[in-house]
């Protein structure tokens, strides 16, 4: 089984994914994975971004390479071994990020068609201003990747964040219907969000009980 968590930066995905992983790992074999974390491709991505070398399609394809590396080396073997995979971001992150950069969404879907769809996808919905204030409170700076990685000229990091993440939200909202996401109100407390997640995961994993 794959359980994916999606949402914009600052929506609370990582916090929720960790809580879910800890809860599940007491009950079954659980494997946690996160976006852009392959052993070697992410270093190349960092270099390419520093040089401002990526076009919309190479941005997409290099992230797909990172994902494919992780997918083939870890996600698929873990699934085959019977683990539950908790994925902090999954293919829908690429659908959203790559299409706001100008790639055709159906092309992006084709690129990622080698990957199985998650059994359950949580979309943590928060207003973009809430996400921004959380990020500023927690670390007081905005990463370039959170503000569109150079997509916009002459904007402050905050403006870039609001513009970029609003575009990403528009795609997620469209996907939520098409891909049957479980939509969670991310403005609720972490405990309330986690309770909903555990209810749904429990229904999926232990439905015959
Ligand atoms: P993401 O992985 O989506 O970027 P994080 O889990 O890293 O989000 O959370 C971003 C910040 O918001 C962290 O400082 C975290 O403690 C805080 N946070 C997460 N969930 C909530 C919540 N439900 N309410 C208030 N703050 C939250």
User: pLDDT tens for residues 68-82?
Assistant: 999 999 999 999 999
Residue 131 Cβ inside 6 Å of ligand 1? The answer reads no
Task: Pick the more confident residue, 205 or 185.
Answer: 185
Per-residue pLDDT, 53: 87
* Residue partners of 44: CB distance under 8 A and separation at least 6: 62
> Could you tell me the pLDDT band of residue 206, with boundaries at 50, 70 and 90?
confident
Q: How, if at all, do strands 2-6 and 182-185 pair?
A: unpaired
Q: Is the ipTM of this complex over 0.90?
A: yes
Q: How far apart are CA 127 and CA 146, in angstroms?
A: 15
Does 52 sit in the ligand 1 pocket, CB within 6 Å? no
The atom number, within ligand 1, closest to the CA of 124 reads 3
Percent of the chain with pLDDT over 70: 99
Per-residue pLDDT, 208: 60
pLDDT (tens digit per residue) in 119-139: 999 999 999 999 999 999 998
Q: Would the CB of 57 count as within 6 Å of ligand 1?
A: no
Contacts 24+ apart (CB under 8 A), 79-82: 79/1, 79/2, 79/116, 81/29, 82/29
Which pLDDT tens digit goes with each residue over 28-68?
999 999 998 888 898 999 899 888 889 999 999 999 999 99
Of 4, 7, 9, 15, best ligand 1 pocket probe by most atoms within 8 Å of the beta carbon = 15
Instruction: Decide whether any atom of ligand 1 lies within 6 Å of the 153 Cβ.
Output: no
Is the CB of residue 160 below 6 angstroms from any atom belonging to ligand 1? no
């Amino acid at each position: 089984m794959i359980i994916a968590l999606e949402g914009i930066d600052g929506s609370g995905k990582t916090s929720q994914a960790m809580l879910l992983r800890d809860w599940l790992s007491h009950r079954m074999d659980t494997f946690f994975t996160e976006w852009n974390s392959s052993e070697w491709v992410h270093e190349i991505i960092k270099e390419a971004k520093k040089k401002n070398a990526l076009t919309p399609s190479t941005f997409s394809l290099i992230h797909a390479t990172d994902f494919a590396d992780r997918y083939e080396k870890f996600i698929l073997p873990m699934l085959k071994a019977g683990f539950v995979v908790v994925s902090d971001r999954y293919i829908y992150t690429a659908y959203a990020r790559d299409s706001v950069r100008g790639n055709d969404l159906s092309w992006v879907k084709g690129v990622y068609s080698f990957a199985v769809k998650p059994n359950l996808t949580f979309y943590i919905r928060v207003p973009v201003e809430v996400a921004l204030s959380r990020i500023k409170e927690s670390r007081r700076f905005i990463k370039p990747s959170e503000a569109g990685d150079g997509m916009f000229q002459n904007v402050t990091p905050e403006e870039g964040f609001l513009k970029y993440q609003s575009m990403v939200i528009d795609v997620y909202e469209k996907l939520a219907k098409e891909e049957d996401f479980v939509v969670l109100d991310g403005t609720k407390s972490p405990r309330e969000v986690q309770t909903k997640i555990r209810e749904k995961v429990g229904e999926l994993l232990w439905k015959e009980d």
